[in-house]
């Protein structure tokens, strides 16, 4: 005797859970918990969140200059008059811009590639904002391009490719140092981090 499939929630709820599960970092179980919290707090959380999502979808766009996200054609970072036009920091994603801005150590301009080169994922140079980077790096007054890309195989492959493309230009090309984090214990670090730390050593 065949058993019918049990129904655990209304189709609308299942659709909500399915969409939440597509958010990076949320699996099916986390999506169910999130959906339950939203449904429990409709007026305080779900309705305002729906409004914020709708407004963001309508207004947020990529900056025409650097590729960061904003509601204007040119983002606040590109419009700021107190930043150094001679420095361009190249990152893979918008989240990297936010991370560097939280650190407060960089006061130049940014350039978001929109990803990194990846043979496995089929991401080629034409899929990234490399042509725009070369255009910006060729502008008068640009002194240095900092390749702030992750210390992964794809990240370093992208950095190497960009360094070669930028070589004919009259700019200094540098990379972030990779190594021991502040407060890091050596015996807790992976081999790759220790290797990078030794390679990036400097006189004391």
* Structural domain spans, the chain: 11-59, 74-175
The CATH architecture of the domain made up of 11-59 is: Orthogonal Bundle (1.10)
Question: Rounded to two decimals, what is the model's pTM?
Answer: 0.82
Q: CA of 174: how far to CAs of 47, 89, 144, 197, in Å?
A: 46, 9, 7, 16
178: three-class secondary structure by DSSP: coil
Per-residue pLDDT, 182: 67
Which CATH code of 3.30.70.940, 3.40.50.360, 1.20.1090.10, 3.40.1360.10 fits the domain covering 74-175? Answer: 3.40.1360.10
Q: What integer is the mean pLDDT of 117-121?
A: 93
Has residue 2 got a pLDDT over 60?
no
Q: How confident is the model at residue 1 (pLDDT cuts 50, 70, 90)?
A: very low
Residue 118 per-residue DSSP state: B
Q: Do domains 11-59 and 74-175 have the same CATH topology?
A: no
131-172 per-position pLDDT tens digit: 999 999 999 999 999 999 888 889 989 999 999 999 999 899
Q: What integer is the mean pLDDT of 80-109?
A: 92
């Amino acid at each position: 005797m065949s058993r019918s499939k049990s129904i655990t929630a209304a189709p609308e709820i299942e659709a909500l859970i399915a969409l939440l599960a597509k958010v990076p970092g949320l699996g099916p179980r986390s999506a169910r918990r999130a959906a339950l919290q939203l449904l429990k707090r409709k007026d305080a959380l779900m309705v305002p969140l729906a409004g914020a999502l709708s407004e963001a979808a309508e207004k947020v766009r990529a900056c025409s200059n650097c590729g960061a996200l904003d509601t204007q054609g040119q983002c606040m970072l590109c419009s700021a008059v107190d930043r150094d036009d001679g420095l361009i920091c190249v990152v893979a994603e918008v989240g990297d811009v936010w991370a560097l801005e939280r650190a407060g150590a960089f006061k130049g301009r940014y350039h978001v590639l929109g990803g990194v080169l990846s043979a496995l994922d089929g991401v080629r140079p034409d899929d990234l904002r490399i042509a725009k980077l070369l255009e910006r790096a060729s502008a008068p007054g640009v002194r240095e391009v900092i390749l702030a890309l992750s210390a992964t195989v794809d990240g370093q492959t992208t950095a190497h490719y960009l360094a070669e493309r930028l070589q004919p230009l009259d700019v200094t090309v540098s990379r972030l140092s990779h190594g021991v984090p502040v407060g890091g214990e050596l015996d807790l670090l992976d081999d790759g981090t220790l290797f990078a730390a030794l390679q990036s050593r400097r006189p004391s």
